[in-house]
């Protein structure tokens, strides 16, 4: 095991080191005012896949993208009046907004879990400077192994992730110790997806709109919906080989006769690399998602490591609907 490097975040040089590690695709735990986040370049699919791998997350939930502020957010999301008012009042700070993602954004589909909305927040403190240096967003869930409590110090991060991530930037204890409030602003109301330290009363006052608790399971926990992100066609799993006319999602080398039977082949990873396959999964599903594609087959994926999350998502894509 290579122990995780600890970086004392007490100088401009330290912030530059963190920014350049993130730019190189490294996984770095960073302090925010809420909890420590496990950050990776949101446009880099392999780096985002490593977030899920390091956390041992059994499924791909969409991640929060961290931006410097409204100007950077505008490059990735459609911001209406309500969203703009909330950003002005609460950013930088512990409020996350779920907004429609702009067409052609370079955010990796794995960070969005294939959704057409994006969760954005502008953190306070050193991470804000790091994001300005990087000039693009980082995806960051809380920096703890899956199922463990969210970390509020660098030591706490290392307790579950030492050796699994490249570095931890130590910025002292987190101020709030509680994850951000998550909302979906709509034209006539604000939907509260996760309560946090920005309260419904503060939101109502800032936006002059009612705050409603979420009743739509599809928005609360998109990763957990049984048939989320199912393509139009039927999906056959654990297919050793494609049948005639099937669209085939391959994993590892494919024999010549098998490949000539398939209508088309999307290779997740020629070498059977789970990190590469995770990074390509949503692109594979969406490229075969068309009304005229009726039958999709997917090669077996081993269930170890990231394979568990890949298989979870494939099972949802194949579920009865």
Nearer to ligand TXA, 19 or 38 (CB): 38
Of residues 255-314, which lie at the interface with ligand TXA (CB under 6 A)? none
165 binds ligand TXA (CB under 6 A): no
Of residues 65-124, which lie at the interface with ligand TXA (CB under 6 A)? 96, 98, 115, 117-119
Of residues 37-56, which lie at the interface with ligand TXA (CB under 6 A)? 37
Nearest approach in angstroms of CB 69 to ligand TXA is: 15
Stretch that binds ligand TXA, among 6-14, 31-39, 158-166, 241-249 (CB under 6 A): 31-39
DSSP 251-288: -S---HHHHHHSSEEEES-TT--HHHHHHHHHHHHHHT
CB atoms within 10 A of CB 223: 19
96 binds Mg ion (CB under 5 A): no
Nearest approach in angstroms of CB 19 to ligand TXA is: 17
Nearest approach in angstroms of CB 244 to ligand TXA is: 38
From the list ligand TXA, Mg ion, none, partner contacted by residue 111 (C-beta under 5 to 8 A by kind): none
Please enumerate in sequence order all residues whose Cβ is within 8 A of that of 139, keeping only pairs 6 or more positions apart, or say none. Answer: 39, 40, 41, 42, 48, 51, 63, 64, 65, 66, 111
Cβ density class 263-275: b for 16+ within 10 Å, e for less: eebbbbbeeebbb
Stretch that binds Mg ion, among 26-34, 86-94, 140-148, 275-283 (CB under 5 A): 140-148
Stretch that binds Mg ion, among 63-71, 81-89, 139-147, 307-315 (CB under 5 A): 139-147
Contact (CB, 8 A) for 49 and 71: no
DSSP label at 4? P
62 binds ligand TXA (CB under 6 A): yes
Contact (CB, 8 A) for 296 and 249: yes
Contact (CB, 8 A) for 174 and 124: no
Which of 5, 25, 61, 102 is in the footprint of ligand TXA by CB under 6 A?
A: 61
Nearest approach in angstroms of CB 272 to ligand TXA is: 28
**Using CA atoms, how far apart are residues 243 and 229, in angstroms rounded to an integer?**
23
Nearer to Mg ion, 182 or 277 (CB): 182
**Using CA atoms, how far apart are residues 312 and 298, in angstroms rounded to an integer?**
13
16: three-class secondary structure by DSSP:
helix
Burial of 235 (0-12, 13-18, 19+ CB in 10 A): buried
From the list Mg ion, ligand TXA, none, partner contacted by residue 98 (C-beta under 5 to 8 A by kind): ligand TXA
How many residues bind ligand TXA (CB under 6 A)? The answer is 24
- Phi and psi of 118, rounded to 5°? -135, 140
Residue among 288, 281, 282 at smallest CA distance from 265: 288
Burial of 237 (0-12, 13-18, 19+ CB in 10 A): middle
From the list ligand TXA, Mg ion, none, partner contacted by residue 309 (C-beta under 5 to 8 A by kind): none
Which of 4, 34, 128, 142 is in the footprint of Mg ion by CB under 5 A?
A: 142
From the list ligand TXA, Mg ion, none, partner contacted by residue 181 (C-beta under 5 to 8 A by kind): none
Stretch that binds ligand TXA, among 30-38, 204-212, 287-295, 313-321 (CB under 6 A): 30-38
Contact (CB, 8 A) for 144 and 160: yes
Contact set with Mg ion (CB under 5 A): 142
Given the rule CB under 6 A, which residues bind ligand TXA?
A: 32, 34-35, 37, 61-64, 96, 98, 115, 117-119, 140-142, 179-180, 182, 193, 219, 221-222
């Amino acid at each position: 095991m290579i122990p995780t490097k600890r970086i004392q975040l007490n100088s401009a040089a330290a912030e530059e080191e963190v920014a350049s590690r993130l730019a190189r695709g490294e996984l770095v735990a960073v302090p925010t005012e809420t909890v420590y986040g496990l950050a990776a370049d949101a446009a880099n699919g392999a780096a985002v896949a490593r977030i899920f791998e390091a956390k041992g997350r059994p499924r791909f939930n969409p991640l929060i993208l961290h931006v410097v502020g409204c100007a950077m957010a505008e490059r990735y999301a459609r911001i209406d009046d309500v969203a703009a008012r909330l950003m002005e009042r609460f950013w930088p700070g512990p409020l996350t907004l779920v907004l429609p993602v702009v067409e052609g954004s370079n955010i990796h589909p794995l960070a969005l879990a294939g959704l057409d909305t994006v969760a954005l927040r502008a953190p306070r403190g050193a991470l804000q400077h790091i994001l300005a240096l990087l000039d693009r967003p980082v995806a960051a869930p809380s920096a703890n192994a899956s199922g463990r409590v969210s970390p509020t110090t660098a030591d706490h991060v290392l307790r579950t992730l030492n050796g699994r991530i490249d570095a931890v930037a130590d910025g002292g204890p987190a101020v709030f110790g509680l994850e951000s409030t998550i909302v979906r602003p709509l034209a006539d109301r604000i939907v509260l997806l996760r309560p946090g330290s920005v309260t419904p009363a503060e939101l109502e006052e800032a936006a002059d709109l009612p705050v409603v608790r979420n009743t739509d399971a599809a928005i609360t926990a998109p990763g957990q919906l049984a048939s989320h992100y199912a393509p139009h066609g039927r999906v056959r799993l654990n297919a050793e080989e494609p049948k005639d006319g099937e669209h085939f999602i391959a994993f590892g080398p494919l024999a010549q006769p098998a490949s000539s039977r398939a209508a088309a082949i999307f290779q997740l990873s020629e070498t059977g690399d789970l990190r590469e396959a995770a990074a390509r999964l949503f692109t594979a599903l969406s490229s075969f998602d068309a009304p005229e594609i009726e039958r999709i087959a997917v090669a077996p994926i081993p269930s170890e490591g990231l394979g568990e999350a890949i298989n979870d998502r494939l099972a949802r894509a194949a579920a009865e609907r």
